[in-house]
Amino acid sequence: MSRRAQVFEVENRLAKIVSAPGGRTVDQAVKAAETRIEAVREVSLASLVGKSDQMVQVAAAARRGEQAKPFDAIYDISNAIYGLASSFGLTALSEAAFSLCDLADGFRTGEEPSWPAIDVHVDGVRLLSMLGAGVSAADAESILDGLRRVRARVLPST
């Protein structure tokens, strides 16, 4: 690698390939993608329960001091749950998982850890995973309200 900065043009090979004759319209491509993703909704959502069960075990092991970086695994699983839940419009679950990511990230980067706050979030994420799309708006709001208050107490600066 040169010590001097170099700035140069590169060929946009993607543009050349995409402009070849044939293919489909943007509208057709987007609709086909939406249809295919919808077809894997059930199997994707089913995996959320497994992930939340895995998170319960990981959190318990971390709490017992069995992991060198206890919040990393919790963060990774919660981040995966957030990605799936948000892709399929499970807004309550995605908010709960996002909040748990905030906690785990805060604790691993210097905030005073609070295991009760982690436990409450893990339970909330697990419950919302099991309820899936069937959770009522009132129940979801009740769970989220509790998580928001816990999060505000342990991470007041964020």
Among 56, 79, 111, 123, binds other proteins (CB under 8 A): 79
Token readout for 32 is 């086909």
10 binds other proteins (CB under 8 A): yes
Size of the site for other proteins (CB under 8 A): 55
> Measured from the CB of residue 103, what is the shortest distance to other proteins in angstroms?
11
39 binds other proteins (CB under 8 A): yes
With a CB cutoff of 8 Å and minimum separation 6, the contacts of 140 are 91, 92, 128
Q: What is the CA radius of gyration of the chain?
A: 21
- State which residue, 70 or 82, has the beta carbon closest to other proteins: 82
Among 62, 74, 78, 120, binds other proteins (CB under 8 A): 78
* DSSP state for residue 134 in the 8-state scheme: G
95 binds other proteins (CB under 8 A): no
Distance, in Å, from the CA atom of 48 to the CA atom of 84, rounded to the nearest integer, reads 8
Q: Within 10 Å of residue 125's Cβ, how many Cβ atoms? A: 28
CA-nearest of 123, 114, 35, 129 to 82 is 129
Footprint of other proteins (CB under 8 A): 1-15, 17-27, 29-37, 39-40, 43-44, 47, 75-76, 78-80, 82-84, 86-87, 94, 98, 101-102, 105
